[in-house]
Structure 1
Amino acid sequence: MRLKQGFYQKDAVQAAKDLLGKVIVRKYNDKTIKVKIVETEAYCGAEDKASHAHNNKKTKRTAPMFKKGGHSYIYLIYGMYYCLNVVTAAENNPHAVLIRAVEPLKGLNYIKENRQIKSSKIENLTNGPGKLSQALKINKNLDGCNLIESDFLYIIDTETEEFEIENSPRINIDYAEEYKDKKWRFFIKNNKYISRS
């Protein structure tokens, strides 16, 4: 069942945990890819020195973060890799969850095609935010996408096996002063698709 508006109306830390095990559905050109979310990071609005919206900084780029929870926020890093974030919480309270890694469930051939590699290790196809966005054919055109209404990108809840959640500090945010030590990265314990243990 597709996640409804109510699911997204929570702070990013809670949402980052709750999104683990949920399934992203991506549809394009009559193709369907499904992947399970196995690793996330929470970015907690104006107070969070690692957030693009620190001090409520609203720009053309960060505008989707200020939407009501249930939208996508997609940005480019290193000039070549897109990162998929799920906006959470209330409108004008810019919380977002970075999807860091996913486990392929359906459409593996499309994932390989989109990644343009013939990796023998399936877990290397989607074990990082740039990799998974390439695998799911996610780009700036999907920035600000309404995940509740979209036919092309949305998240569903499915029956999943029980799992343990582990957490750690977020990755590559050394600039964030005291916020670099917040343990706001969450991942499914022992899942082989996470970006790093």
Structure 2
Amino acid sequence: MTIHNFYDSDTTDQIAKKMLGTLLTYDSPNGLVGGRIVETEAYMGERDSAAHAFNGKRTASNEPLYGPPGTIYIYSIHGRYLLDVATQAKDVPQGVLIRAIQPTIGQEIMYHNRPKHGVELTNGPGKLMGALGIEDKLMNFQIIGDDKLKIDIDNRLEPRQIKTSGRIGVSKGDWTDKPLRYYVSHNPYVSGLTKAEVNIAHFGWK
């Protein structure tokens, strides 16, 4: 399956669910790093009051969202960089925010980039980017998979259960509580998960 077919085949919320279990990797200057995506959020474009393109807002900063499916959109909030991927046809500004990964590749490199132990390494959108070592927007407008930043959609682990919730840190308008956050139930790297919700035997994978 090509990256374009992966995105073209579904709505953005469905794509956000399908991303769970796929392998996100970055060929960093210090070596290959990455892990399994365990948490995502869907942003539904011009009608979504929490989206960067709400009401058709189009600026130099959010222009990658208007790119073809698979376009990388990196932006910063409070000094941290976050990774979003455009999911629909060109000029349809919808995307998926990658919120957390379970690190599986290059953990020592990631720890050097972000010296936090355990789940704190990558259990949040800014945390995972820091661990990967991505601290700029130079990959904006690239198609994910074409260069150093990739999502392996053909090598996916199947979650036992996918849970949904309102998005985290969103307080804009009617879309604040819409269930557009998706995560692998019982996986410790999901942001905000309590110890009681974690299953160390299988981490939420089949």
TM-score normalised by the chain length of structure 1: 0.92
Contact 2:65 2:93 in 1 (8 A): yes
Equivalent position amino acid for 1:82 in 2: Y
CA RMSD of aligned residues (A): 1.4
How far apart are residue 108 of structure 1 and its match?
Answer: 0.3
Q: What is aligned with 1:58?
A: 58
1:181 shift after superposition: 1.5
Identify which of structures 1 and 2 has the higher relative contact order when contacts are C-alpha pairs closer than 8 Å and 6+ apart: 1
What are the ranges of 5 or more consecutive residues in structure 2 without an aligned counterpart? 194-206
TM-superposed CA distance for 1:4, in Å, is 2.0
Q: Is contact 1:3–1:148 with CA below 8 Å preserved after alignment?
A: no
Q: Could you say which residue in structure 2 is the equivalent of 1:46?
A: 46
Match of 1:127 in 2: 123
**Whole-Å Cα distance in 1 between the matches of residues 113 and 184 of structure 2?**
25
Partners of 1:59 and 1:94 lie apart in 2 by 12
CA distance in 1, matches of 2:178, 2:164: 10
2:161 is matched with 164
**Aligned partners of 1:64 and 1:179: how far apart in 2?**
22
* Aligned counterpart in structure 1 of residue 145 of structure 2, from 145, 148, 162: 148
Query: What are structure 1's unaligned runs of at least 5 residues?
Result: none
CA distance in 1 between partners of 2:159 and 2:41 (Å): 20
Name the counterpart of 1:192.
Answer: 188
Q: How many residues align?
A: 190
Shift of the 180–103 alpha-carbon distance from structure 1 to 2, 3 Å rule, reads same
Q: Tell me if structure 1 keeps the 8 A contact 2:70–2:143.
A: yes
Residue number in structure 2 paired with 1:103: 102
Q: Which residue of 2 aligns with 1:67?
A: 67
In structure 1, what is the Cα distance between the partners aligned to 2:60 and 2:158?
40
Partner of 1:84: 83
Find the counterpart in structure 2 of residue 35 from structure 1: 35
Q: 1:13 and 2:13 equivalent? A: yes
Partners in 2 of 1:130 and 1:159 — Cα distance?
Answer: 23
Tell whether the 8 Å contact from 1:166 to 1:189 is kept in structure 2 after alignment. Answer: yes
SS of equivalent to 1:55: helix
**Displacement after TM superposition at 1:3 (Å):** 5.0
Point out 4+ residue stretches in structure 1 off by more than 2 angstroms: none
Please state how far the C-alpha of 1:196 moved relative to its aligned partner.
1.4
Q: CA deviation at 1:28?
A: 2.1
Cα contact 2:162–2:184 (8 A) shared by 1: yes
SS at match of 2:182: strand
Secondary structure (helix, strand or coil) at the match of 1:86 reads strand
**Distance change (3 Å), C-alpha of 1:153 and 1:3:** farther
What is the match of residue 197 of structure 2? none
One-letter amino acid of the structure 1 residue matched with residue 123 of structure 2 = N
Q: Matches of 2:183 and 2:30 in 1, distance apart?
A: 31
1:179 matched to 2:175? The reply is yes
SS at match of 1:182: coil
**Which residue of 136, 148, 154 corresponds with 2:132?**
136
| Shift of residue 159, structure 1, vs aligned partner | 4.6
